[in-house]
Amino acid sequence: MGMADFAINIGESHKQVVPLTIFVAVLCFCLVIGHLLGESRWFNESITALLIGCLTGTIILLISKWKSSQLLRFDEELFFIYLLPPIIFNAGFQVKKKQFFHNFFTIMLFGVVGVFISSSIITAGSWFLFPKFGFTGLTARDYLGIGTIFSSTDTVCTLQVLHQEETPLLYSLVFGEGVVNDATSVVLFNAIQKIDVNRIDGWTAFHIFVDFLYLFSTSTALGVAAGLFTAYILKGLYFGRHSTLREIALTVLMAYLSYMLAELLGLSGILTVFFSGIFMSHYAWHNVTESSRITTRHVFATMSFIAETFIFLYVGMDALDIEKWKMSKLSVGNSVGVYGSVVLLVMLGRAAFVFPLSVLSNCMSRNATRSSSITFKHQIIIWWAGLMRGAVSIALAFKQFTHYGVSLDPVNATMVTTTVIVVLFSTIVFGLLTKPLVNYLLPHSDTSNIDREPSISKEDMTLPLLSFEESAETNLLRAKDSLSMLIDRPVCTIHSFWRRFDDAYMRPIFGGPLSDPSP
């Protein structure tokens, strides 16, 4: 290599390092401002990062004389490989598992069935409304993609608005739905890319549904297997005898490996890494030293926090990307009409499944105490909190309507700017009003007991599933009583069966005490 080539490489490297350095500096500034606003009733980290991103984009626009507001070009592959995994894994690792699995049926209803309902409404609505504002040129695949893009809720912002200690039921439902919702949206989005939109019939929908069930079940199974395998290795080899660094490194790398394996096999990495996080915290966390327990919790939370802030900071800057705005051919009035119609469809799509599915969930838990049912006030808060759109919507929109972050025509540019505006509006407006809404509908005195679990007698909890030391008649009577409990209280009974199976068989092999003090 000659000196001229060497100098060119240094120059290119310098061009890449300078924007990244400025972006990291802005990220540090964002963390400081977020700390100063930590006690604010209105602002959270997501809103702060968005606003600082908009401010930074404005400054860059002025310096570049209205040519560009970007320091870095968005790469959806980079997002899915490096930024999303730590966020989702930390969500699974830190989740209150008792709350999550006690509300598992409702979470699945909202996160899976809800996405199909919402996607259908947004797709049909945008197909009907967009031409009214002169916005044409989208294909059938684009409209189907729009349905999944805007059905993905923002788990990041919602988790910063609600808190486990203050509103455990709401946090569990909104958080759990958000993660499953994101996974469902990504799987459905990828399934749409494979279908022949010119030959859509009943069998096509059936194939999509079967493909979805396959991806959902196999992705979950892979995540569970990764979590159990990590726990078994940590318990059997006891890495902490020689070095706590090895057990921490193994936990981090196994979590990331599960995500990459899922992506390599064409599965949902989001679901895999989420359930990997749940099972690692349930079993593997108990097999490491005390110092490693503290370290892993803080390491995962820190990685997730930085990734979240990075994403929202970029979205704020991308909102002022002058190139995309210039490329769009719609007038200001028609553009506002398109933005407003998407927001309206998002609100209608969410309402179409939150309220009816909440009623269905309450019917399934009909003998639960009133405090554990989803009241109308709870339903309003769940509907409102889930209106926020975020990073997954942005990534899917870039994947559908750009080529390596660059829009190639006015129609695609309009859809990218529409997605950015909807994310900004929903995060800032709905995010600002969520906490006051929670405080108004559920005063502090009402939030302490909103998720009391239906009681199961201690005798029922200590009974084994089957006992070889007792007669067949006794086991038959026990099975009959269990079946009656299952019919009477299905969700609660299944949860109790799992806890008994877990204590009897799983924890002795994979680790953990009989009680559940895990994070």
What is the average per-residue pLDDT within 184-206?
A: 76
At 126, the pLDDT band (50, 70, 90 cuts) reads very high
Distances (CA, A) of 345 to 146, 339, 357, 380, 387: 11, 10, 18, 17, 11
Residue 506 or residue 492, greater confidence: 506
Radius of gyration of the chain from Cα atoms?
24
Position 124 scores a pLDDT of 93
For the record, the structure tokens of 160 come out as 């910063």
pTM of this prediction?
Answer: 0.79
What is the average per-residue pLDDT within 501-518?
A: 70
β-bridge partners, 382: none
Q: Are 299 and 39 in contact (CB under 8 A)?
A: no
What is the average per-residue pLDDT within 117-132?
A: 93
pLDDT digit string (tens) for 158-185? 566 666 666 677 778 887 888 788 888 8
pLDDT digit string (tens) for 352-386? 999 999 988 888 765 554 456 788 888 898 898 88
Q: Are 315 and 394 in contact (CB under 8 A)?
A: yes
CB neighbours of 428 closer than 8 A, spacing ≥ 6?
47, 50, 51
Separation of alpha carbons 203 and 364, rounded Å: 31
Distances (CA, A) of 375 to 32, 101, 354, 382, 461: 39, 19, 12, 10, 28
Q: Are 449 and 371 in contact (CB under 8 A)?
A: yes
Question: With 90 as the cut, is the pLDDT of residue 246 above it?
Answer: no
Position 442 scores a pLDDT of 74
- The residue assigned the tokens 């022949």 is 196
